Amino acid sequence: MPPHLRTPSRVRSLIALAGLVLANSVSAQFTEVTSTVKPGSFLLEMDALSLVIDREAGDKSTAFAAGAFLVTTGLTKNWDLQLGAELFISQRIDLGGLKERNTGIGDIYVRTKWRFYEDERFEIALIPFAKIPSNTGGVGNDSVEGGLIVPWQAYLFGAVTLNAMVEVDVVRNARDDGYGLLWYGSAALSRELTKSLAVYAEIDAAKTSGTAPWQTTVGLGVYWSVTPFLAWDFAVYRGLSRVSPDWNPVVRVNVGF
């Protein structure tokens, strides 16, 4: 699920949102969490399978990704370092009979997270990141990009938790002749059912600079902690706006070591 394709604007915006999702979350939910990995430990977060599907007025587009991962290790109690990559991406676009298909590896992401505030009920962090172009097969835009994510977490009542975040990215523009801004926000409400099982609902929205419309999706997911070091996450997202992908099912896995 790459950031941009040199294709008509609507399909390009769908693929851009898919790339934003990959860059910002390969864990439970799209919405980032504030927790950091302790020093000496590692966390592997992976979108094992992710599919973006869109259909409108005879136009069809799909993007499939497997093995998009983020490896995190702690530097201090509240600060960690993250390295991510997209191992396999396949895109197919059919615009009124004009077909295009691209397959290859994606880009590399370097991030760091600093949790600078926490109390018994609330936490907030900063996540600056950069994308290093390493794609093959025409699945990326061959441009350095980056941004800043600000996630926060609130423990509401009982076993209910609210995660939310805002983000601004510097991205290659649709004309491929410069850079613009991409604004993103999301929120997820989760509820623990047992010590190993939780459910969540999530909504997100994204918009690029200029007159581009908002892209909005909503989703439901189940998080299953098999052991203290292994967890699975299954979610399905549905587009709410005309320019959003119709469907985005995701299978994620988290492994600690």
Model confidence over 31-58: pLDDT tens digits? 999 999 999 999 999 999 999 998 877 7
Least confident of 93-97, 197-201, 250-254: 93-97
User: Which of the four pLDDT bands, split at 50, 70 and 90, describes residue 69?
Assistant: very high
Q: In the prediction, which pLDDT does 132 show?
A: 96
Bridge partners, 105 (sequence order) = none
Q: What is the pLDDT of residues 206-223, one digit of tens each?
A: 999 887 889 999 999 999
What is the pTM for the complete model shown? Answer: 0.87
Q: Which of the pair, 215 or 19, is modelled with greater confidence?
A: 215
Place of tokens 């172009």: 133
How wide is the angle at C-alpha 17 spanned by C-alphas 137 and 234, nearest 5°? Answer: 95
List CB contacts of 252: < 8 A, sequence separation 6 or more.
26, 27, 28, 45, 46, 47, 48, 232, 233, 234, 235
Please state the φ and ψ torsions of residue 17, each to the nearest 5 degrees: -65, -40
Q: Evaluate the CA torsion angle 50, 256, 84, 173 in order and state its sign.
A: positive
Q: In the prediction, which pLDDT does 115 show?
A: 98
| CA–CA separation, 66 and 51 (whole Å) | 9
User: Which of the four pLDDT bands, split at 50, 70 and 90, describes residue 59?
Assistant: confident
Helices (H) and strands (E) in the chain, counts: 1, 13
Place of tokens 């350095």: 144
| CA–CA separation, 148 and 32 (whole Å) | 12
3-state secondary structure of 29: coil
List CB contacts of 175: < 8 A, sequence separation 6 or more.
none
Residue type, position 83, single letter: L
| CA–CA separation, 48 and 123 (whole Å) | 28
Q: In the prediction, which pLDDT does 28 show?
A: 59
Q: In the prediction, which pLDDT does 140 show?
A: 86
- Which top CATH class is 9-251? mainly beta
Residue 33: CA count within 13 A, CB half-sphere? 13
User: Which two three-digit tokens encode residue 108?
Assistant: 């590399």
List CB contacts of 51: < 8 A, sequence separation 6 or more.
62, 63, 64, 65, 247, 248, 249, 250
Q: In the prediction, which pLDDT does 94 show?
A: 84
Domain coordinates in residue numbering, the chain = 9-251
